[in-house]
Structure 1
Amino acid sequence: MDETEKPVRVPPQMSVYADRHNVTHLVQCVFVFQMLVSDLLIHQPDDPISFLMDELQRISVDVPRVLLFGPPAVGKNTVAKRLSAELRAVLVTADTLLLDQSEPSSQTEQVLQRLKEMDCIHRGWVLVGFPQTRLQALSLQQLGVLPEHVVLLEAPDDVLLQRFQGRQVDHLTGDVYHQTFIRPDDDVIANRLEEGRGLSEEQRLAKLQCFHREVTGLSSAYQHVLKVINGDQPHADVYQQVLAFVQTCRRSITPRILLLGPPGSGKSHQAQLLSNKYKLVDVCCGCLLRSVAADGSTVGEQIQPYLESGHPVPDSLVLQVLQERLSQMDCSCRGWILHGFPSELQQAKNLQESQYQPNRVFFLEVTDEVCLERITLRATDPISGQRFHAVAQPAPNSEVQDRLQTRPEDRTPAVEHSLEQYWNHSAALQSVYPDAVHIDADQDPHSVFEALESKLTAD
């Protein structure tokens, strides 16, 4: 694999040091330092230390890094232009980079080079028109281009087709307006507007279909920093919602959260809720191992036999996979929530020694009876894949009920064994994390989440 295709990783010591000295934001600009080293080699100053210090003083890392995308005619270019002016950031568009005239393989490199230029580093950037696919988004992320805020503008297809028809252009500035959606306040501008060069009906539908094919994958690539905004509103309302989202700030200390608790305590569900709200990376150890086992890598081939046999994966392999994942740029910049590991004393000690220590640890407390009820009464529909629960979420009809299947690990003997194993190691885990917060998980998920959230945001 080419070096440029490898995920960007941050040394583990950097995150720990950054938290301790309140310089976490520097971790988010690793590529800035790479560029400084390049400048050092190019200029070869007599006093390299002073040179680097001067360069760092001129560079502000607390700058906007915004990505807007959406279907054609939704108004993203107009919003992006206004937003860049408001934030005094550099507007970077696919049109200005002439990406349509380049080979797909070089488009990502063009965007990367533009965002590494000094004006983008000093002032920040608003990127629109690229990426257009999940693959392009992942390529940018692997190269260290990580927007702080991503906005998806949405509108119904019939509204978008109407906007195509009412498009108007200011031939002096290139600004795009619309007969009803966006009108200029200045009568002079309004009088010189010309009808925009239109696409055929077939071309319009093709553009919309292309967007619909890619939007799910593109959204998933940015799910931790994504805000979906309804573009079928007055332009001023759309813009204010985008601006309000972009002006939200990240916390000064990047959360590294560990959720512990018996099986059935709700760790996975709470991790998902925290991830969705705070844009953290949800790292489920079991899911991560299955993913690596399926990717065909050397480590995956070593893990696969253990998963097939049902035997535990050796700690050395688990830690190798975890360190690989937690070192990637999204975890270092956004923070993470780990659950499913550690489950016993030595694993916890190994995690602490790996320099990927959590800075927030929560024990979800719940009785065995509640855990048994939550797990043993759930079953899965083999046709739809949907999971139901006899009490909390029963099957919608008898036909679905009759075909539900219970996983072997969800049966009473297996759950009782898992609970016994957890309690055998619980006291040892608490000794490793004496400052952990204990949360009563024997309540509705929303109340548990509120309790977690209050402790997470507390000083």
Structure 2
Amino acid sequence: MKLRVVLVGPPGAGKGTQAQFLSEQFDIVQVSTGDIFRANVGNGTTLGLEAKKYMDAGELVPDSVTIAMVRDRLAEADVRHGFLLDGFPRNAEQAAALDTLLGGLDTELDAVLEMQVDNDEIIRRLAGRRTCHGCGQIWHVDYDPTQVEGTCDACGGELYQREDDQPGTIRRRLEVYDEQTAPLVRYYSERGLLVPLDATGDVEDVTARAIEALKRATS
């Protein structure tokens, strides 16, 4: 089944996990912008060197560079039978650019799966994470607790809460996400591509709902 899907959702919604399961279910390639950036920077491509210049300066990589990287990735042979794009587009301008580059490849999107999770649940998921100073292992006070509170089961190192996992920081990230994503959601809704998904509950239940939603939307 050829399927071309964009996956959107707030931080902590479980996009990476669902992207992996859905790509396996539909036998399509998971395309992550994080992986695209790492590959270009690691391989020293022209685009990678350009992106690294901005990243090293602590600046946002321009859309033109990101879009060019995505275009090159989507032109590769392994995505011709379908893909699940995670991490792009992030705004309506990037969405329009994606439509243009897909048109240049003589294809188009089939669906945009929007993972919806209540902000309070997102904060609970992210604020409960604890990272080990010693080995970097990530634990969770509710979902994956250690045997001894504050101590890593893997290496005995001390656990700490990253700045990104502080409730105040998470709220600010969610505010930015909402501001950027509202126009993006509207863009795809107006084109009849948006597929809302309740992303709360067990991972397996969310996956089952996502599979059913995508099958209905593309049948």
TM-score by length of 2: 0.85
Distance 1:292 1:426 in 2: 26
* CA deviations over 1:310-349 (Å, ceiling 9, x no partner): 432110111111111111111113x111111111121111
1:439 is aligned to 197
The match for 1:400 among 124, 127, 152 is: 152
1:305 and 2:53 are equivalent in the alignment: yes
2:23·2:30 contact (CA, 8 Å) conserved in 1? yes
Distance 2:43 2:206 in 1: 35
1:426 is aligned to 181
Distance 2:134 2:24 in 1: 28
2:207 is aligned to 449
* CA deviations over 1:41-96 (Å, ceiling 9, x no partner): xxxxxxxxxxxxxxxxxxxxxxxxxxxxxxxxxxxxxxxxxxxxxxxxxxxxxxxx
- How do 1:354-369 and structure 2 match up within 5 A? 354-355=101-102, 357-369=108-120
Q: Which consecutive unaligned segments of at least 5 residues does structure 1 have?
A: 1-250
* CA deviations over 1:25-55 (Å, ceiling 9, x no partner): xxxxxxxxxxxxxxxxxxxxxxxxxxxxxxx
2:5 is aligned to 257
The match for 1:413 among 161, 168, 172 is: 168
1:336 and 2:83 are equivalent in the alignment: yes
1:386 is aligned to 137
1:34 is aligned to none
1:259·1:339 contact (CA, 8 Å) conserved in 2? yes
Secondary structure of 2:152's counterpart equals helix
| Distance of aligned partners of 1:265 and 1:437 in 2 relative to their CA distance in 1, 3 Å threshold | same
- How do 1:143-292 and structure 2 match up within 5 A? 251=1, 254-292=2-40
Which amino acid is 1:372 matched to?
Answer: I
* CA deviations over 1:213-250 (Å, ceiling 9, x no partner): xxxxxxxxxxxxxxxxxxxxxxxxxxxxxxxxxxxxxx
TM-score by length of 1: 0.42
| Aligned residues with identical type, % of pairs | 30
| Distance of aligned partners of 1:365 and 1:336 in 2 relative to their CA distance in 1, 3 Å threshold | same
Distance 1:374 1:308 in 2: 30
| Distance of aligned partners of 1:295 and 1:403 in 2 relative to their CA distance in 1, 3 Å threshold | farther
1:260·1:362 contact (CA, 8 Å) conserved in 2? yes
1:385 is displaced (CA, Å) by 4.0
2:197·2:213 contact (CA, 8 Å) conserved in 1? no
Q: Which consecutive unaligned segments of at least 5 residues does structure 2 have?
A: none
1:352 and 2:104 are equivalent in the alignment: no
- How do 1:56-205 and structure 2 match up within 5 A? none
The match for 1:376 among 127, 151, 167 is: 127
Which amino acid is 1:276 matched to?
Answer: E
Distance 1:314 1:407 in 2: 27
Distance 1:380 1:309 in 2: 26
| Distance of aligned partners of 1:269 and 1:383 in 2 relative to their CA distance in 1, 3 Å threshold | same
Secondary structure of 1:429's counterpart equals helix
Secondary structure of 2:197's counterpart equals strand
Aligned residue pairs: how many? 206
Secondary structure of 1:358's counterpart equals coil
1:295 is aligned to 43
Which amino acid is 2:197 matched to?
Answer: I
| Distance of aligned partners of 1:288 and 1:406 in 2 relative to their CA distance in 1, 3 Å threshold | farther
The match for 1:321 among 48, 69, 73 is: 69
Which amino acid is 1:257 matched to?
Answer: V
| Distance of aligned partners of 1:412 and 1:293 in 2 relative to their CA distance in 1, 3 Å threshold | farther
Which amino acid is 2:69 matched to?
Answer: V
1:358 is displaced (CA, Å) by 2.2
Secondary structure of 2:201's counterpart equals coil
More deviation in 323-332 or 292-301? 292-301
Distance 1:406 1:307 in 2: 24
Distance 1:396 1:287 in 2: 34
1:309 is displaced (CA, Å) by 4.1
1:378·1:390 contact (CA, 8 Å) conserved in 2? yes
Distance 2:83 2:158 in 1: 37
| Distance of aligned partners of 1:337 and 1:440 in 2 relative to their CA distance in 1, 3 Å threshold | same
Q: Which has the higher contact order (CA 8 A, sep 6+)?
A: 2
1:268·1:339 contact (CA, 8 Å) conserved in 2? yes
